[in-house]
């Protein structure tokens, strides 16, 4: 998963994990059923993006890897993940590579990976599914549920008519009747993810427009209740803060180990987005959580 966006995607998936599990399980041909998120730690230094168990008539696992940047060698990693997941859970595993934007597509990402022996003969063959987010329609992602709705804004269809796409995204959010916390979380995530395809000025303008649409909606005002005065702007800011904190915890845990209760409390208490960004810039140079936080 792309580092600047992985925390945002994790936060989005966490809002409605069943939406993601059901959508991609269907694409992979797994019989429908209740889903269960599984631990993604596969080895000391290896972690998959997302794994779900689908408890249908034929239980199986769906493994998702999300990529926003061009990188060769991903299919080999997918095969490694798939093998470890199969060994751990003893169930069929379907791996799906989810590419978030056109520039993420690499020449070796064709759905089939071969491993060759010294003589040049094939000693292993691995098939996986490639999903190009931008090639699907806006409606396809919106029908997937509120947890997948922001992906509609990353499509080629949306890029060709962003104003129309924003109207349909807005309608989808309202029609779900989701509570304020869920709606604001999805809005915050969508704001960050739009940076994958559009420049900052365009993103800011489109969300100013969305803010007006949401404020004019009587349904959304009812959802907001007493908190409507903070409205969309607070939701977007909170979404960005949460995404940045999640990213710091994820990267820091991989480098320094799990934070202590006190350290986690300090990180969760940071409400200055600029401070979180400065900490992220220094994480590669620090040698411990204490050293990282003392630099502030």
Is the same domain home to 62 and 168?
A: no
Is the same domain home to 66 and 30?
A: yes
Q: Is position 233 within any domain?
A: no
Evaluate the CA torsion angle 175, 177, 180, 182 in order and state its sign.
Answer: negative
In the block, residue with structure tokens 């890029």: 159
Is the same domain home to 131 and 150?
A: no
For the ranges 45-54, 204-213, 286-295, the lowest mean pLDDT is seen at 204-213
Structure tokens at 130: 């490639």
Is the same domain home to 50 and 95?
A: yes
Number of structural domains the chain divides into: 3
How much is the pTM? 0.72
What is the C-alpha R_g of the chain? 20
Is the same domain home to 98 and 169?
A: no
Strand, coil or helix: 45? coil
Contact 116, 122 (CB under 8 A): yes
- Strands lying side by side in the sheet with 93-99: 35-37, 50-54, 60-67, 93-99, 129-132
Is the same domain home to 152 and 115?
A: no
Is the same domain home to 160 and 279?
A: no
Q: Which of 106, 135, 164 is the endpoint of a domain? A: 135
Distance of alpha carbon 144 from alpha carbon 24, whole angstroms: 10
In the block, residue with structure tokens 């409390």: 265
Evaluate the CA torsion angle 245, 246, 250, 253 in order and state its sign.
Answer: positive
**Count of positions (residues) in the chain:** 296
Q: Is position 216 within any domain?
A: yes
pLDDT (tens digit per residue) in 75-97: 999 999 999 999 999 999 999 99
Q: Quick one: pLDDT band at residue 226, thresholds 50, 70, 90?
A: very low
Over range 212-216, report the average pLDDT: 62
Q: Which of 135, 159, 194 is the endpoint of a domain? A: 135
What's residue 123's pLDDT? 94
Contact 133, 101 (CB under 8 A): yes
Is the same domain home to 14 and 101?
A: yes
Is the same domain home to 256 and 166?
A: no
User: Would you give the distance in Å from CA 211 to the centre of its chain?
Assistant: 23
Domain coverage including residue 79: 3-135
Q: Kindly tell me the burial class for residue 33, based on how many C-beta atoms sit within 10 Å of its own C-beta (0-12, 13-18, 19 or more).
A: middle
Over range 119-144, report the average pLDDT: 96
Over range 177-204, report the average pLDDT: 84
Is the same domain home to 285 and 183?
A: no
Q: Is position 204 within any domain?
A: yes
Q: Is position 246 within any domain?
A: yes
What's residue 169's pLDDT? 93
User: Would you give the distance in Å from CA 98 to the centre of its chain?
Assistant: 10
Contact 9, 247 (CB under 8 A): no
Q: Is position 113 within any domain?
A: yes
Average pLDDT of the residues of the chain = 84
Q: Is position 140 within any domain?
A: no
Is the same domain home to 211 and 257?
A: no
Burial 81-96 (b: 16+ CB within 10 A, else e): bbebbeeebeeebbbb
> Does residue 221 register a pLDDT over 60?
no
Is the same domain home to 33 and 121?
A: yes
Q: Which of 135, 167, 197 is the endpoint of a domain? A: 135
Over range 66-80, report the average pLDDT: 94
Q: Is position 205 within any domain?
A: yes
Contact 86, 105 (CB under 8 A): no
Over range 187-206, report the average pLDDT: 85
Over range 137-166, report the average pLDDT: 95
Whose CA is closest to 33, among 13, 11, 52, 16? 52
Tell me phi and psi for residue 155, to 5 degrees: -85, 160
What's residue 2's pLDDT? 47
Q: Is position 166 within any domain?
A: yes
pLDDT (tens digit per residue) in 230-269: 444 555 566 667 767 777 777 777 778 888 877 877 877 7
> Does residue 216 register a pLDDT over 70?
no
What's residue 227's pLDDT? 41
Over range 161-183, report the average pLDDT: 87
Q: What percent of the chain has pLDDT over 70?
A: 86
Over range 145-157, report the average pLDDT: 96
């Amino acid at each position: 998963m792309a580092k600047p966006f992985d925390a945002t995607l994790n936060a989005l998936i966490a809002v409605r994990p069943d939406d993601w599990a059901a959508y991609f399980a269907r694409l992979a041909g797994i019989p429908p059923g209740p889903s269960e998120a599984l631990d993604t730690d596969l080895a000391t230094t290896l972690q998959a993006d997302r794994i779900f168990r689908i408890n249908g008539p034929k239980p199986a696992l769906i493994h998702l890897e999300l990529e926003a940047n061009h990188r060769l060698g991903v299919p080999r990693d997918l095969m490694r993940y798939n093998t470890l997941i199969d060994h751990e859970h003893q169930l069929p595993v379907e791996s799906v590579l989810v590419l978030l934007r056109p520039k993420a597509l690499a020449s070796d990402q064709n759905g089939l990976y071969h491993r060759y022996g010294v003589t040049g003969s094939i000693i292993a063959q691995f098939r996986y599914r490639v999903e190009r987010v931008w090639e699907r329609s806006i409606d396809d992602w919106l029908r997937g549920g509120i947890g997948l709705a922001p992906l509609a804004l990353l499509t080629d269809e949306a890029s060709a008519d962003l104003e129309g796409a924003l109207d349909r995204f807005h309608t989808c959010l309202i029609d779900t009747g989701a509570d304020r916390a869920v709606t604001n979380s999805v809005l915050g995530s969508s704001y960050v993810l739009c940076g994958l395809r559009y420049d900052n000025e365009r993103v800011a303008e489109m969300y100013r427009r969305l803010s007006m649409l949401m404020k004019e909606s009587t349904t959304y005002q009812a959802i907001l209740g007493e908190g409507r005065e903070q409205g969309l702007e607070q939701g977007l800011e909170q979404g960005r803060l949460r995404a940045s904190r999640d990213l710091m915890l994820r990267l820091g845990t991989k480098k320094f180990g799990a934070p202590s209760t006190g350290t986690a409390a300090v990180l969760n208490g940071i409400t200055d987005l600029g401070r979180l960004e400065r900490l992220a810039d220094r994480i590669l140079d620090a040698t411990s959580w204490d050293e990282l936080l003392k630099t502030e």
